[in-house]
Amino acid sequence: DVKVTQSSRYLVKRTGEKVFLECVQDMDHENMFWYRQDPGLGLRLIYFSYDVKMKEKGDIPEGYSVSREKKERFSLILESASTNQTSMYLCASTQNSPLHFGNGTRLTVT
């Protein structure tokens, strides 16, 4: 079974802080993704990566960056956290289809 692990279930950060969300998958998947989930907006794609050191913008990349130094690890970075980045963040991986999601990180920015 595919396991996608997100390092934190809950995070509380202050406005302006730099925030790192970590994600690790154990199935040697090429593709990894970061989504955020907000009420009434569904899941929206922030960034994705098809290979180590490769990254592509999703639908809402503003205010975020990512890092993929190893195949199994995909990090989401909030350079300067803002209150509108309070959300549920979901990491996912896949070789092709379907997506395998982690359990999410609930981030609150105060």
Sites of contact with other proteins (CB under 8 A): 4, 9, 31, 33, 35, 40-45, 48, 58, 90, 92, 94, 96-104
Select 17 or 71, whichever has its Cβ closest to other proteins. Answer: 71
Which of 17, 30 has the CB closer to other proteins?
30
- In three-state secondary structure terms, 83 is helix
Structure tokens that stand for 39 in this block: 């009420």
Q: Which is nearer to other proteins, 17 or 67 (CB)?
A: 67
Six-digit token pair at 18?
A: 């730099």
Only one residue has tokens 């896949």, namely 94
